[in-house]
Amino acid sequence: MSSSELERLSSAIDGSVLRRGDESWDDAVLIWNAWVSKTPALVVQPTSARDVAATIRFAADHGLLISVKGGGHNIAGTALADNGLTLDMSRMREVTVDPAARLAHVGAGCLLRDVDRATQQHGLATVLGFISETGVAGLTLGGGFGYLTRRFGWAADNLEEVEIVTAGGTVRTASRAENPDLFWAVRGGGGNYGVVTRFSFRLHQVGPTVTGGLAVWSADRADEVLATYRELTASAPRELTAVAIIRLAPPAPFVPEQWHFQPVAGLLVCHSGPTTEADLAPIRALGDPIFDLIGEKPYVAQQSMLDDMEPKGLNQYWKAEFLPTLPSEYLTTFRDAALNVASPLSFSVIFHLEGALNEHDDGGAVGNRDARFISGFSGVWPPNADGDGIVAAVRDGWERIRPFSTGGNYVNFQLAEDDLTRTVAAYRDNCRRLQQVKTQYDPGNLFRANRNIRPR
């Protein structure tokens, strides 16, 4: 590709065109999972939908594979494509809140923290994830779940409208009233249909203060903790979301030194409504925790409290399944597998989803409406360290819990190694319609650096 061709692209957009060696290159291609090694040929940092449209036309004309980086947090590393063109959306981070209409209009480069900080100024929030450095775009397009999912459904359920640039460089609006088939597909179908440049989310009265935090016990009491978790989730109001965690205790300031790197079992909670003593009574009844950090805190603090567990620059390997229930045999299996996975950085979780997503289905493609829990194993280790044993433990744990699965899985947790059968399992009955919409809007499969849905 000649310099004059790149100059023409640069002159056609208001944003930046980066090549290897440019000053901003390293930051532009930095992604969360260090285990993924990809290097694009070009990075474009657009500032508008018009920039994105011009870039898409350029990539199509030159046969370049397009990838899109929102927050760069996808575990499979779909933000980058080797020798392709990466759209780094980091210069499109504007959030506009309309408190009267209870809407937030969100740029495609926004991180969760950008949205939470803006909406919480009005005591409002939408459903997002639970790591504040995650990109809003990738999270939402794959479904998206977090502490508010039990009350309000998937993040995708809370979309009211998107601005999207489809193949050919056409800028479209998609909503329930305009291009409804495209709007259906992007709510769960990932980046298969174009590049979303703006999201409009429905907002809910939440915060600014919630009751949340983490309490931890010795792993010798893991059976008690997991039994309590099952009891808690069986009767929890929808305002209460609970997560069970087994890992080695980190060397954090709030962890007594004698417990550093010792196996522990914990309960992480977020109660986003008025809290009564009865809501948390099963946790309090366990007694004698190593530490208990559950209390009132700002919602934005709750949304970022796990950030230190998932910093950029570490190797990451996950496996997870959706679950319908928590039978005793599963809890025993999970406990044993989680203790096997445990390492200084690795952890294993059960996250409660049951509630609105099981009932609230207005036609989005996200699917898996029978999911009531998600459970999995996260293998994490430093760069240049040997991770073979950690990967083997994660795979073993995943195989052991699969008999308890709904048969579905979360597309945002899929790895590059996962084949088409895993993608089909993530969408299930929605696959055929997703293919039909793909054929209509991207018949040449221009947008394929993702968990790909091929045109028919």
Tens digits of per-residue pLDDT, 301-354? 999 999 988 888 999 999 999 999 999 999 999 999 999 999 999 999 999 999
Domain end position, chosen among 90, 110, 129: 90
Amino acid at 269: V
b/e code 46-57 from CB counts within 10 Å (16+ = b): bbbbbbbbbbbb
Q: Residue 310: what pLDDT?
A: 84
The amino acid at 127: V
Q: How far apart are CA 41 and CA 86, in angstroms?
A: 8
Task: Specify whether 266 is located in the same domain as 385.
Answer: yes
Residue that finishes a domain, picked among 26, 60, 90: 90
Domain stop point among 90, 120, 136 = 90
72 and 27, same domain (yes or no): yes
Amino acid at 312: K
Give the residue numbers spanning the domain of 70: 3-90
Q: Is the pLDDT of residue 122 over 90?
A: yes
As given in the structure block, the two tokens for residue 399 are 């195989």
The verdict on residue 80 lying in a domain is yes
Q: Is 120 found in the same domain as 61?
A: no
The answer to whether residues 179 and 314 belong to one domain is: no
- Asked if residue 132 and residue 23 are part of one domain, the reply reads no
Mean pLDDT along residues 169-178: 97
Whether the CB-CB separation of 346 and 378 falls below 8 Å is answered with yes
Residue 422 falls inside a structural domain:
no
Is the peptide bond between 311 and the residue preceding it cis, with omega within 30 degrees of 0? no
Residue 268 lies inside a defined structural domain of this protein: yes
**Distance between CA 212 and CA 451 in Å, rounded?**
34
Q: What is the pLDDT of residue 3?
A: 87
Dihedral Cα 311, 314, 318, 322, nearest 10 deg: 0
Q: Residue 423 falls within a domain, yes or no? A: no
Q: How far is CA 335 from CA 190, 225, 432, 444, in A?
A: 32, 10, 38, 46
pLDDT in tens, 255-298: 999 999 999 999 999 999 998 888 999 999 999 999 999 999 99
Question: C-alpha dihedral over 48, 51, 53, 54, to 10 degrees?
Answer: 170
Per-residue pLDDT tens over the stretch 210-257? 999 999 999 999 999 999 999 999 999 999 999 999 999 999 999 999
CA-based nearest residue to 202, from 121, 99, 93, 132: 99
Q: Are 100 and 143 found together in one domain?
A: yes
- Residue positions counted in the chain: 456
- For residue 229, is it within any domain? yes
Total domains in the chain come to 3
pLDDT at 234: 96
Mean pLDDT of 113-126: 98
Q: Taking the C-alpha atoms of 105, 111, 114 and 116 in order, what is their torsion angle to the nearest 10 degrees?
A: 90
The pLDDT of residue 15: 97
CATH number of the domain residue 56 falls in: 3.30.43.10
pLDDT at 385: 95
Q: Does the structure show a pLDDT above 80 at 45?
A: yes
Q: Are residues 246 and 191 both part of a single domain?
A: no
We report the CATH number of the domain holding residue 368 as: 3.40.462.20
218 and 198 together in one domain: no
Say whether 171 sits in a helix, a strand or coil: strand
In a domain, 420, yes or no: no
Sign of CA dihedral 395, 142, 170, 96: negative
Asked whether residue 449 is domain-assigned, the answer is no
User: Is 130 in the same domain as 241?
Assistant: no
User: Would you place residue 1 in the very low, low, confident or very high pLDDT band (cuts 50, 70, 90)?
Assistant: confident
User: How large a percentage of the chain has pLDDT more than 70?
Assistant: 100
Q: Are strands 209-218 and 291-292 parallel, antiparallel or unpaired?
A: antiparallel
How confident is the model over 106-123, as a mean pLDDT? 98
Same domain, residue pair 320 and 225: yes
Do 255 and 307 reside in the same domain of the chain? Answer: yes
| Per-residue confidence (pLDDT) for residue 290, from 0 to 100 | 98
Residue 454 placed within a domain: no
- 270 and 148 part of one domain: no
DSSP state string for 272-318: -S---HHHHHHHHHH---SEE--EEEEHHHHHHTTGGGS-TTBEEEE
CB 426 within 8 A of CB 170: no
